[in-house]
Structure 1
Amino acid sequence: MNDKTTSTQTEPIDRGFHAKRVSYQKAIFVRAVYFLVDSIALFPIVLISILSRFSPRPIEIGLGPVPTINSKYHKQALERVGYTCETFVYYTWYFTDDFDINIGRYCPRAFGPYIAYIFVLFRYKCIYTYFTGGPLGFTTLLARLEPFLLQLAGIKTVIMPFGGDVHVLTRGQNMLMIDAYAKDYPGFRHNKGRTEALIDVWTHGADHIVSGCDWVDFLYYWDTLMLSHFAIDTDNFEVVQSQQAPDKPCEPLRLIHAPNHRNLKGTKHILKAVEELQAEGLSVELSLVEGVPNTKLLEMIQSADVVLDQLVIGWYAMFALEGMASGKPVVCHVRQDFLDLYIGTGLLEPDELPLINTTISTLKDTIRQLALRPRSELHEIGLRSHEFVKKHHSIESIGKVFDNINREISLRR
């Protein structure tokens, strides 16, 4: 990394249990301990679930417990169409702690699933959660019974993927992705059977299933297909045109890349391409941002000319949306079969997607071409990108989809 590539990291990054090369024995031990506790707790949990049916629940929708950035945007989307809702977690990740209820403040994380489940029983009429499961998702036996338990309680469930919760790597065809997972999350290999089981459990037991993104590679059923369920508040983003000469290229071209897992995002290929272009004398700078709170990251995007998203998975995610909402051109690898699916189902018009498509092998040429294009052309791509996000991922557009889902499951008529 040279002096034209800056690296920013303000927080130590804890990528969780699977980021370590956990032994199979340790993984089995954790599951066995939870199985023992689950067996003891099963009868009381069933009884409390039944009794909770007769208790008034003050909030229509709970969003959790996985602590994703998108929870707050989903909450805004649901509130925009008139629902009462809260975000709840029992642990957090480094990039945000912006949640309404953090049960982990009041109990050890190991007991979080059980306390969170009882909390949910008496508070929400419906939960929006992921294929890792609701509050009982980290347990062993109860995780597989959770859809049944929530049905006993009379609580509706809307299930969505977020990534690793559905990535059964033997189902996909992306060898680069398998290699990246092995490097970023070696402990993930122990989770294949559990991930498959939870996909099956929720596919059969959820009231409604949402899919999209690259997740379609790993699921075999959905009720609603979207480009992705990611939402963003476009009202908070302003598109600003550079005051420098619009008919001249950016000098230097300022790139930003913010990987939460380097191999899955293709970071080493980005570093290599930028260093080679700099060695050729091209005026290009890269900001590599890791472990930074989301509010700080959004400020840093404003200072960039181009956002570099991900090169391995084959579709865009939250960082790309933040870049597009900011009016920045976004470089990302887009798999043709995904593009064909979303055009074929009518979710996209041909040539509507404003992403600058690239691959590991073409990235260097892509950056070179961007560095030579006039600022006005980059600004035009940024404007198209902003409008794309408003159409497909704004609070209003996602809120309409969620409202239709809620009416379909009779949460509201």
Structure 2
Amino acid sequence: MKVLHAPMNIAGQASILANAQRELGIEADVLIFNQHQFSYHFDINLSLSEKSTVSRYTTMINNFIKCFLKYDIFHFHFGGSLLPYNLDLPLLKFFKKKIIMHYWGSDIRQYSIAKNYLFFNNLSELQTICSFKDEDPIRKKIGRIAKYCDTTIVGDYSLLPYSPKSLVVKQAIDLKKFPYIGNDSKNKEVIIVHAPSDTDKKGTKYVISTIEKLKNENCSIEFILIINKTNDEALEIYRKADIIIDQLYSESHGIFAIECMALGKPVLCRIHEEFTNCYNGLPILNTDPNNLYNNLKLLIENKELRLELGKKGRKYVEEVHDSKKIAKKFIELYESI
């Protein structure tokens, strides 16, 4: 069995899955069109952004032919595939290649649905969080992809409303890269870390205003906002943290929260009430802009609770997000189709 993950490597998920699959004896490669700013691992980079239009399309066609001849399973990510407009999907299906499409969020998110699940205080805030788009092309693309794929996957339960016929396979992390540290730090001040990929869409303005309020009350805290750091630089900061703040608007947590739980850190993040029952044993402190102050103060003043949530977080990640367990699920899925 030869597996190709392409053409996007969202949050490094394609490379994490491929690495775990290789450890389990499967030949798996990661192909990307362009390198991500966080320099996630890849096996093949076409560097399309550096090419002229003619060269770009020539490269894509030649690459498609090579991949067609080499791989049995095409595990595509983020709604993309090897040719523009997913033109390769009917060809792959015609020749009985196995195709999986793995959705990760903004590739399928639609405003008319998202507004029922996102946190917002007013319309202006909602427009910032989830931009108005013509949803018809998104829905048509989801339907077109479904015609040709053997199955479609979403990386979390909170994405099912956008693609209801998809299967849920949880996000994966390599636990070897996130050894348990715990939260029994000797820091003079409680270190609070927030690492937004997009400050407007993660509720960062509420985080900053709440931190200022706590500092004005003479709370013994240090706040670190992580922006434009490499993965390794950010990880060093996560290790020192006492409290992690993830996203405050979204339907559920992201990879950042999983990584920090693996380290044994307590995490604050918003989980929409419709999905809370999907996460059996999830030890995240459910937090939105309205209760951020109270939840932060609770953790700042209660070291034992921080320790407890950190231990539970590690256990949860080992059970639910271990890359080897997720890789096995995908191998079983490949074999079933």
Both proteins in one fold, TM over 0.5: yes
Give 1:407 shift.
1.2
**Counterpart of 2:292 in structure 1: which amino acid?**
L
After superposition, the Cα gap between the structure-2 partners of 1:148 and 1:208, relative to the gap in structure 1 and judged at 3 Å, is same
CA–CA distance in 2 between the matches of 1:331 and 1:60?
40
Structure number with greater CO (CA < 8 Å, separation at least 6) is 1
Q: Please, which moves more after superposition, 384-393 or 166-175?
A: 166-175
In structure 1, the residue matched to 2:212 is 275
> Would you say 1:164 and 2:93 are equivalent positions?
no
In structure 2, the residue matched to 1:14 is none
Q: Please, which moves more after superposition, 363-372 or 282-291?
A: 282-291
In structure 2, the residue matched to 1:5 is none
After superposition, the Cα gap between the structure-2 partners of 1:182 and 1:317, relative to the gap in structure 1 and judged at 3 Å, is same
After superposition, the Cα gap between the structure-2 partners of 1:117 and 1:170, relative to the gap in structure 1 and judged at 3 Å, is farther
| Contact residue 73 and residue 395 of structure 1 kept, 8 A | yes
Aligned counterpart for 2:22 among listed residues 59, 65, 79: 79
After superposition, the Cα gap between the structure-2 partners of 1:95 and 1:356, relative to the gap in structure 1 and judged at 3 Å, is same
Output one character per residue of 1:357-403: Cα deviation in whole Å (capped at 9) or x when no partner: 111100011111111002x4312211111111111110221022112
Matches within 5 A, 1:26-37: none
In structure 2, the residue matched to 1:358 is 287
Determine what percentage of the aligned residue pairs are the same residue.
22
In structure 1, the residue matched to 2:173 is 232
**Counterpart of 2:24 in structure 1: which amino acid?**
V
> Would you say 1:101 and 2:44 are equivalent positions?
yes
Aligned counterpart for 2:96 among listed residues 154, 169, 189: 154
| Contact residue 183 and residue 306 of structure 2 kept, 8 A | no
Give 1:176 shift.
4.1
Output one character per residue of 1:170-191: Cα deviation in whole Å (capped at 9) or x when no partner: 23313547866743685x725x
> Would you say 1:380 and 2:322 are equivalent positions?
no
DSSP 3-state at the match of 2:226? strand
In structure 1, the residue matched to 2:322 is 394
Aligned counterpart for 2:298 among listed residues 335, 345, 369: 369
After superposition, the Cα gap between the structure-2 partners of 1:336 and 1:184, relative to the gap in structure 1 and judged at 3 Å, is closer
CA–CA distance in 2 between the matches of 1:179 and 1:63?
38
Aligned counterpart for 1:197 among listed residues 135, 140, 143: 140
**Counterpart of 1:216 in structure 2: which amino acid?**
L
DSSP 3-state at the match of 1:378? helix
Higher CA-based Rg: 1
Give 1:288 shift.
0.8
Aligned counterpart for 1:129 among listed residues 76, 79, 83: 76
In structure 2, the residue matched to 1:336 is 273
Give 1:209 shift.
1.7
After superposition, the Cα gap between the structure-2 partners of 1:369 and 1:176, relative to the gap in structure 1 and judged at 3 Å, is closer
> Would you say 1:311 and 2:248 are equivalent positions?
yes
Normalising by structure 1, we get a TM-score of 0.73
Normalising by structure 2, we get a TM-score of 0.89
Give 1:324 shift.
0.7
DSSP 3-state at the match of 1:160? strand
| Contact residue 131 and residue 202 of structure 1 kept, 8 A | no
| Contact residue 62 and residue 85 of structure 1 kept, 8 A | yes
Output one character per residue of 1:36-55: Cα deviation in whole Å (capped at 9) or x when no partner: xxxxxxxxxxxxxxxxxxxx
Aligned counterpart for 1:215 among listed residues 152, 156, 159: 159
DSSP 3-state at the match of 1:290? coil
Mind listing any 5+ residue stretches in structure 1 that lack a counterpart? 1-58, 343-347
After superposition, the Cα gap between the structure-2 partners of 1:221 and 1:305, relative to the gap in structure 1 and judged at 3 Å, is same
DSSP 3-state at the match of 2:299? helix
| Contact residue 80 and residue 399 of structure 1 kept, 8 A | no
Matches within 5 A, 1:48-63: 60-63=2-5
Give 1:165 shift.
0.6
Output one character per residue of 1:76-107: Cα deviation in whole Å (capped at 9) or x when no partner: 22223321001001112211242110011796
After superposition, the Cα gap between the structure-2 partners of 1:189 and 1:204, relative to the gap in structure 1 and judged at 3 Å, is same
CA–CA distance in 1 between the matches of 2:332 and 2:119?
37
In structure 2, the residue matched to 1:284 is 221
